[in-house]
Chains A and B, each alone.
Chain A
Amino acid sequence: MLELSGSKALVKALEKEGVSVIFGLPGGAIMPVYDALLDSGIRHILARHEQSAAHMADGYARASGRAGVCMATSGPGSTNLVTGIANAYMDSSPLVAFTGQVPKAMIGRDAFQEADIIGITAPITKYNHQVRSASEIPSVVKKAFLIATSGRPGPVLVDLPKDVQTEVAQMEFPDSVEVRGLSLPLDPDPELLKKAAELLAGADAPFILAGGGVRISNAHRELVRLAELLMAPVGTTLMGKGCIREDHPLSVGVIGMHGSPLANMLIVKADVLLAVGTRFADRTTCDVKEFCKEAKIIQIDIDPAEIGKNKRVHLGIEGDARKAMAGLAEELAKRLKGERPAHWYERIKQVKAKLHNEEGDGLSAPRLLRRLRKLLPDDAIVTTEVGQNQMWASLHFKAYGPRNFITSGGLGTMGFGFPAAIGAKVARPEVPVVDIAGDGSFQMTMNSLATSVSEKIPVVAVILNNGMLGMVAQWQRLFFRGRYSAVEIKPPDFAKIAEAYGAQGMRAESMEEFERAVKAALGSDVTTVIDVPISPEEDVFPMVPPGCKLEDMIGV
């Protein structure tokens, strides 16, 4: 037992959780905690907007596999976190958010900077809790991290009324806590694994679809083992991109609305589909009813509620992706005798040979991204914004590791990529981190340049600058008779903006200049913004038009 104030207990509890960094921005209702942070070894990284603080923590979490922590004051500080929390919720990212709150006696009176952040975030958190007395803090913190990181991860918010932060109490720091309502994942049922192995062993054209769950469970080795055993092509969702090295002969790329043509072409021909750690999101499956209609589908997910939620499956297996795939591989190894038919493999090779080999010096987005791939080391981390830039990155920038491609999938949040890059760089300072940005998205959170520069967290932003809210413009060209409505954005001079913040700014008007700029950025320890003008009217193709099925892909 220790006699401590709530805020000191909070900081101590965070230290005990191994937290080394917090992303946040202070204000009246969280000041006691900020004061206590001064006496701690925890690094605080000052954001310039709380949304960015949440994205930084999210990027940190995705790059490291550990929980990311963000902090804000009450009222507007807490509501500014909301987009970041929702983003983490949709992509199952372990985020722990702490918010200040007005003193308990003021709650409900519309006090200055009061917001019902518990009510507001209930639908976008895995759990949230308002602390009512200081002595709860040590166990609440422990629970928050346990809930955020166990099973299917997700954001947890802890709301701290100001009087609770200053209240002094006897504190007991438990080594473990029990959360009775938290169901921990079951071991995958061996009988179901056997059934799955039967199905896969008998398949003519098996296909593996790997989702974000594979990355979260660190199941990438098991994935490759399984694929190689089966000689099955592996497609990923956007969240699973990189779980198999995309230069692996069995990798066919990302499935979906802007999926790789090879992946979309092959998955629809599968007779047995093994889907791991994916919810069959609409951007992946397109018309979900038509999706792999003829195939027998096996779904593995740690969250039982995902099994059959969006797509009816033949066999659902609850459990951790890594354990399930390891078990499945063992069962399969027993059943697969001799050589696997190689016709798939040959076909993949043929199609691959035809795709994406066009090179050249014009500044098209696909070419830029393929060049960027060559310029970056294999273990570099790439984040993206949302829109065409994201889909081009998905199509043309090959990811070589499960935590090397970080993007806002479920919520599709413009402005995520740049702060997420900063968070990722904090998690893995030894590798270069590049945000592939659009000029629209970048403007949403470019004030994070201040954080990046002053905290000396050097990242690179490559802005594919088409002067447009490009993806919206593309839809207007395709589905609204080319009538542009509110998409022309005449962006500012990004190089100058970068310089004004103390970062390096460059403009690349040819492939050569681009190459030089990227090399300069990688060799520098200053944040660099590379502004690359591209055509305002380039479309991302291929594409499955909304409402259509994967087979109806256009622009291949």
Chain B
Amino acid sequence: MQAGGYDRGLKGLKTFIFGTLVEHKPGVLQKVSNMFRQRNFNIESITVGPTERGDIARMTITMRGEEEDAVQLEKQLRKLIDVLEVKLLDPSETVVRELALVKVRVEDWRARSDLVNWANIFRSRIVDVSPDSIMIEITGAPSKIDAFLELMKRFELLEVSRTGITAMERGLNRIGLK
């Protein structure tokens, strides 16, 4: 499984981001992800969390495929009784974010100062420091995180944990219940 990253390997396929509202109760994530497997969709990331309403959770789903696959995915999602609303988000009108925690081994001071510089340039934050390692928290569009991770390959990467994508439309647009 890809840890919610942007996969650049598949040519000719587009990335689609769906915002969904679902019943906030056990088993719903399983039903949704089960359906993706059952119907052979190419899912890159699913993130889920509570909303301002206790009985509703919000799921952000990123898939790769053709236009037709996206249409089918939207319809299949709507069929699930626990899924309350589905919206295909327009990337140009949407803020898309991902958070990653990145831990690298850095022992010598020169490398350390390089690392701190780069972390600053990417507007990321250093959240933990030990004599041999540094942990950085970075937030941004998935492509920014990709770029940052690319750079971090110069060091010994100890751990990467990406949250997967969350997204929200700009302005007054929102995903509301029917």
Q: Interface residues, chain A, CB within 8 Å of chain B? A: 118-119, 122-123, 126-127, 130, 147, 179-183, 303-305, 308-309
Contact = CB atoms under 8 A, between A and B. Distances in A.
B10 interface: no
Q: Which 3 A-B pairs have the closest CB atoms?
A: A305-B75, A127-B81, A181-B81
Given A304-B75, A305-B72, A309-B72, A181 B83 contact: yes
Interface residues of B, number: 20
Contacts of A305: 72, 75-76, 78-79
Contacts of A179: 81
B146 interface: no
B161 interface: no
A122 B83 CA distance: 14
Interface in B143-176: none
Given A181-B80, A305-B79, 8 more contacts: A119-B30, A122-B34, A123-B35, A126-B81, A180-B84, A180-B177, A181-B83, A305-B78
Nearest to B83: A181
Contacts of A180: 84, 177
Contacts of B114: none
A181 B82 contact: yes
B9 interface: no
A245 B35 CA distance: 38
Interface in B71-105: 71-72, 75-76, 78-84
B84 A181 contact: yes
B20 to A, nearest CB: 11
Nearest to B76: A305
A437 to B, nearest CB: 32
B38 A123 contact: yes
A23 B3 CA distance: 46
Contact of A308 (B34, B68, B80, B84): B68
A263 to B, nearest CB: 29
A120 to B, nearest CB: 11
13 contacts: A118-B27, A123-B34, A127-B81, A127-B82, A147-B81, A180-B84, A181-B80, A183-B78, A183-B79, A303-B79, A304-B75, A304-B78, A309-B72
Nearest to B80: A181
Given A147-B81, A181-B83, A122 B31 contact: yes
A183 B85 CA distance: 10
B50 to A, nearest CB: 17
B23 interface: yes
A303 B31 CA distance: 19
A303 B83 CA distance: 16
